[in-house]
Structure formats: structure tokens, C-alpha cells
Amino acid sequence: MGLFDRFKKKTQEVKACPPQQADTDTLCLLVMDRVLQDASQAGGIVERAFGSGALEKIDADNPPITHMVVKLEGVEFWCSYMPFPVPPEEMKLPGTSQYSLFDSEEYQALCGSKSFWIIAQKGGGQSLEGKRRVCRLLTGLAGALFQLEGAIGIYVSAAELLISRRVYVQHVGILEKNAGDPDYFPAPLWIAIRQGQKGDKLLMGTWGLRQFGFQELWFADPKSDWAEIHEKLYLMSIFQITGKELYKNGDTIAFTPGNITVFKEMNGALFLVGGDV
């Protein structure tokens, strides 16, 4: 059984796919461990990374506050530097590093952030293809801005996902290597994997698929180890985000031959129940 076949749903009859609506706007926060006295240096970083035409406008008349408009492949991004810590209501810090991509030292640095950039794109997610494109471009832009001294992490509010500079830059490198591959998407930079408990049963699932127009995917009482479930959730997310699959209530899937897992819609999410997972 090939990799794709393992994640291909089984249906008894052809079902019409429900309309999918991605979030039209896309946003992340670039967290800093200091206040920049000259945030306009970001403009030079953008031009070196993407060419002189990428920086459409920069307003640094009231330092350290700085606003930039960056245009990548015809898509405009607004970047605004805020010289104060991220307000608590705007960034939900996880209680443990298990659910996010940083180590304990990086976590402490992120908790003590001093300033941040807002990197936003308005209206580009009119379709799944458009949302994918915006996310890829924004990932590259954020990766370039990590060259700023003091940049320590990214927060993706739609997934409540906090990622260290170290991990983010690694994934940007992978994205660059796969730039021409339509089947690749940097899911760990946009989708969080969470763990919960219902009674004595373990739950593991995604947080952030809704921004792409999909229901979150959760495994109910999985038997496999954490790393294997983690991989499955990311791969299933990628298959949906890249348009290869759409999982729905009542569909079944077999990760190994003869072991059927059923998708059941509960509380607005799709739970995978049964099988040998």
C-alpha cells in the first residue's frame, strides 16, 4: 500500500463535497526579544531577499514604529512593527512546550518578548488555492525577517501555534527546496497538534485546519505512539490543504489493510474512531 493510499478515504457512494471557505485574511506575529531602535532595517532585508521591487512602501517617520508594504508575486503584505510586548489577549502562550515547536530556553525567551511585528495579508484566501499561496509566501517573508536581530519566534493566531526561530527557519529551508512541488505544504508552521483527555481516553488532533476551510481532525483513544499519530495528522492535513482529499462524516479509512477507521462528526470536528491506530 502506497503512502497516499493509506490516507485515502473509502466511500460507499459518491458524495458531493460541501463548499469549503478558507479564512480570507492571513496573519502571524514575529516576536522579538528586544525593542528595535531602527526597525526600518527590515526594508533592506526584504529587498535583499526578494529584490528591490518587493518593498512597495515603508513608513519609518515615527521610530521605532515602522510600517511596510511588501509585494511578493503580486500579493501585498502589510508589516507593522509594534515596540511593546504582545498583548496577552493576542497571544495564548501554551502551558508546556510539548504542544509547540520550541525548547524550554526558547519558551522563556518568548514569554519575555519585548516587541513584535504583525505580518498580514488581507483578502487573498478567497479559495483554497489562494490561501495556500498566501501562506507559502508569508512563510518565506517571515523566514527572511528572522534575519532581524532579536527575532525569536512566530505566533500563528489562527492555530494558537507558537514556533521558535530555530524550527521555523528549518521549515523555511524545506519549503524553498520544495518550491515547485504542488503536493508540499509546510503544515507544521500553520497547524498545531494538540492532546486532550475525555474521561480515561486520550484525544489527539489538529488545531488550525479551520483557517483552510476544513473541520479539525482528532483521533479518539489512539493506541499508536505520539510520534506516529503526530505524523498521520500532519499528512492528512497536507492532503486536504493541497486538494488531494476531503474527509467527511461517515467516510472510512484503512491505515493498514483490513483495519477500518471511521470518521464521525462530533462537536464540529471529525473524530477517527476504531481500527488499529
Q: What is the pLDDT of residue 188?
A: 94
Is pLDDT above 80 for 97? no
Nearest to 98, CA basis, from 181, 194, 213: 194
Q: What is the pLDDT of residue 53?
A: 95
- 48-68, pLDDT tens digit by residue? 999 999 999 999 888 889 999
Q: What is the pLDDT of residue 14?
A: 37
223 or 212, which is more confident?
A: 212
Residue showing cell 462537536: 267
User: Is pTM beyond 0.75 here?
Assistant: yes
For residues 262, 265, 269, 270, the Cα torsion angle rounded to the nearest 10 degrees is 10
DSSP assignment of 181-200:
-TT---GGGT-EEEEEEETT
Sequence spans of domains, the chain: 3-17+191-273, 26-186
Query: Residue 89 is placed in which grid cell?
Result: 489577549
Share of the chain above pLDDT 90, in %: 70
What value, to the nearest 5°, has the Cα angle with vertex 143 and ends 140 and 144? Answer: 90
Query: Poorest-confidence range of 42-46, 60-64, 235-239?
Result: 60-64
Nearest to 143, CA basis, from 207, 206, 70: 70
CA–CA distances in Å: residue 256 to residues 6, 117, 260: 7, 45, 8
- Cβ count within 10 A of residue 50: 18
CB 83 within 8 A of CB 36: yes
Is pLDDT above 60 for 255? yes
